[in-house]
Structure 1
Amino acid sequence: MRIKATESTLLVVDIQERLFPAILDGAAMAEHTAWLQQVARQVGVPVLLTEQYSKGLGLTVAPLREGVDEAAILEKLHFSAAGDGELFKRPGGERRQFVICGCETHVCVLQTVLDLLARDHEVFVVEEAVGSRRASDKALALARMRQAGAVIVSREMVAFEWMERAGTELFKRISREFIR
């Protein structure tokens, strides 16, 4: 089961201004997420953002919100981004594969992943681009997602599968700009 650029969407779950400071290693999580967003744009993968009750938790942190069309930002009250079906009406929501980043791993990310799997989507969770307030909650959530059928991946695994092959202009550009 490979991640295909033509079949996947990058879903960034709830990396919001008021929640973000409490996330363990949050700066690294956001940096890895921003990296994936940039690679996604290069390969033509849609990016969707969710915001859990933005009136209370704030908007998605500015670096991740930059360049994202308002139609690609989903305001939600369900913990799961797939809870009310609105996700599937957004650009990229119709695709069969979802690559997931965000927080909190054991709440909104977990419930989103479980709902996507229940709807027969292929789900890939980027380990270094998800976070929780406590390491134990993140570890338990990743184990539960894996057990439920999600595939736990790294950001480079995603990037190389999206590119598919070396020797192309796309590969050269991404290698030069993002792979170090």
Structure 2
Amino acid sequence: MLSKESTGLIITDIQGKLARLVHDSDALVSNCAKLIKGAQVLGLPIIWLEQNPDKLGSTVDELSALLADQYPIPKFTFDACEEPQFMQAVRTANVDTWLVCGIEAHICVYQTSLHLKQLGFKVQLVCDSISSRTLANKNLAITKLVNRGVDVSGVEMCLYELVKDCRAIEFKDILSLIK
């Protein structure tokens, strides 16, 4: 079970034209927004990544507006764990579990999630908050990661798992995100 005391969120490369070209783009952005808002309500550490932002563009406005109090970590490797600034943020967050969302599922999300798992972190792929240009590539990423011990969750499932109790102070805010 997830615990808000030991869980963080990684937002991977939801930027530029590519964010609008991936399979079911509108749902991806909407679900990522819910996930970000939920993480903020629950006080989770959030790490925000952008792949080669000078070439691919910045994070879509709907999400960057939610993250206005922090800056994205630029990266050039597909596996964010190869970027020292990312690994410093991971260590500083002091959690052992990471929810991962973003694009592209079969490239950056896959490589980063797998490397985090290999480093000993628990990783939960938020499957309704990831995408690729094709559904087949998204499904391939999920299958390969599950086969390597990465857990799969969804926005609603992980947020309710984190809030735990309808009497929790955060429950009404989480409920309003889901409805």
Bin for the TM-score computed over the shorter chain: over 0.9
Aligned residue identity for 1:142: I
Aligned residue identity for 1:174: I
> What does residue 113 of structure 2 align with?
113
| 1:39-50 paired onto structure 2 within 5 Å | 39-50=38-49
What CA distance in whole angstroms lies between the structure 1 residues aligned with 2:109 and 2:139? Answer: 13
Between Structure 1 and Structure 2, the one with more helix by share is 2
Partner SS for 2:79: coil
What CA distance in whole angstroms lies between the structure 1 residues aligned with 2:130 and 2:62? Answer: 16
What CA distance in whole angstroms lies between the structure 1 residues aligned with 2:80 and 2:105? Answer: 13
Q: CA deviation at 1:130?
A: 0.2
What CA distance in whole angstroms lies between the structure 2 residues aligned with 1:93 and 1:74? Answer: 14
> What does residue 68 of structure 1 align with?
67
CA contact (8 A) 2:36 2:66 kept: no
> What does residue 135 of structure 1 align with?
135
CA contact (8 A) 1:15 1:60 kept: yes
Aligned residue identity for 2:39: A
Q: Does 1:95 align with 2:95?
A: yes
Residue correspondences, number: 178
Q: Does 1:38 align with 2:37?
A: yes
Aligned residue identity for 1:134: T
CA contact (8 A) 1:83 1:115 kept: no
TM norm structure 1: 0.92
> What does residue 157 of structure 1 align with?
157
RMSD: 1.6
Q: Which runs of 4+ in 1 moved over 3 A?
A: 69-72, 91-94
Name the % identity: 26
CA contact (8 A) 2:51 2:74 kept: yes
Per-residue Cα deviation, 1:81-105 (whole angstroms, up to 9, x for no partner): 1123321322764321110000000
Partner SS for 2:100: strand
Aligned residue identity for 1:14: D
TM norm structure 2: 0.93
Unaligned runs of 5+ residues in structure 2 are none
> What does residue 80 of structure 1 align with?
79
What CA distance in whole angstroms lies between the structure 1 residues aligned with 2:47 and 2:131? Answer: 18
Partner SS for 1:6: coil
Per-residue Cα deviation, 1:120-167 (whole angstroms, up to 9, x for no partner): 000000111000001111111100000111101111111011101122
What CA distance in whole angstroms lies between the structure 2 residues aligned with 1:70 and 1:86? Answer: 18
> What does residue 15 of structure 1 align with?
14
Per-residue Cα deviation, 1:38-91 (whole angstroms, up to 9, x for no partner): 011111012211100001000111111114257551100010111233213227
